[in-house]
């Protein structure tokens, strides 16, 4: 049936047992996204440089499912984040193929440089894996059927 997330958001607002449906849907979407998360981690280890441990460091990122029920931004998204020593790390830049690395033997301002790494540690496995997207659509359809049954 594959309906849009916006339609789910509209029907959820009018449903009395919303809390139970949302809770069950979160659990189901988290369960169906686990194979995709494993694929992302394995792809990061496979394509990123192992020297210095960048591949394992990126693979250890927190990866979760973000579910939004606002009507205009309704949807299911995979989100990854990693906190380094001082601030959030720029995983988007690493996915684009650039990482900041310290320059050997230099300290102070200007001691970091940009280094190229293989791009797509995040986007490639998620765009090539249509199975988790189909499973998420199935779970959304199941939730809509339950709402419509009352």
Query: Does residue 113 form part of some domain?
Result: no
Query: Does residue 130 form part of some domain?
Result: yes
String of DSSP letters for 87-127: SB--HHHHHHTEEEEEPTT--STT-EEEEE--S-TTHHHHH
- Run means of pLDDT, 10 residues per run, the chain, 150 residues: 65 75 83 89 94 90 81 73 79 91 80 90 85 83 78
Query: Residue 1 has what pLDDT?
Result: 43
Query: Does residue 65 form part of some domain?
Result: yes
Query: Residue 40 has what pLDDT?
Result: 92
Query: Does residue 139 form part of some domain?
Result: yes
SS3 state at 67: strand
Query: Does residue 80 form part of some domain?
Result: yes
Query: Does residue 103 form part of some domain?
Result: no
**For residue 53, what are the CA distances in angstroms to 30, 50, 84, 112?**
28, 5, 14, 18
Element (H, E) at 81: strand 75-81
* Cα–Cα nearest to 71, from 2, 135, 149, 14: 14
- CA torsion through residues 17, 30, 28, 1, sign: positive
pTM, full prediction: 0.76
Query: Does residue 79 form part of some domain?
Result: yes
Domains: count for the chain: 1
Query: Does residue 126 form part of some domain?
Result: yes
- In angstroms, rounded to a whole number, what is the distance separating the alpha carbons of residues 115 and 105? 16
**For residue 95, what are the CA distances in angstroms to 38, 109, 113, 117, 119?**
17, 25, 17, 9, 5
Domain that holds residue 60: 5-84+121-149
Query: Residue 118 has what pLDDT?
Result: 93
Query: Residue 60 has what pLDDT?
Result: 92
């Amino acid at each position: 049936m594959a309906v849009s997330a916006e339609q789910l958001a509209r029907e959820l607002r009018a449903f009395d047992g919303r809390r139970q449906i949302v809770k069950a849907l979160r659990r189901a979407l988290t369960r169906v996204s686990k194979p995709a998360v494993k694929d992302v981690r394995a792809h990061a280890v496979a394509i990123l440089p192992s020297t210095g441990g960048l591949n394992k460091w990126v693979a250890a990122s927190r990866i979760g499912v973000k579910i939004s029920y606002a009507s205009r931004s309704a949807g299911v998204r995979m989100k990854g984040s990693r906190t380094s020593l001082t601030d959030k790390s720029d995983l988007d830049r690493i996915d684009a193929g650039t990482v900041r690395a310290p320059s050997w033997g230099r300290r102070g301002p200007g001691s970091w440089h940009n280094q190229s790494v293989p791009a797509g540690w995040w986007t490639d496995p998620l765009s090539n894996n249509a199975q988790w997207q189909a499973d998420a659509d199935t779970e959304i359809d199941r939730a809509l059927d339950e709402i419509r049954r009352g």
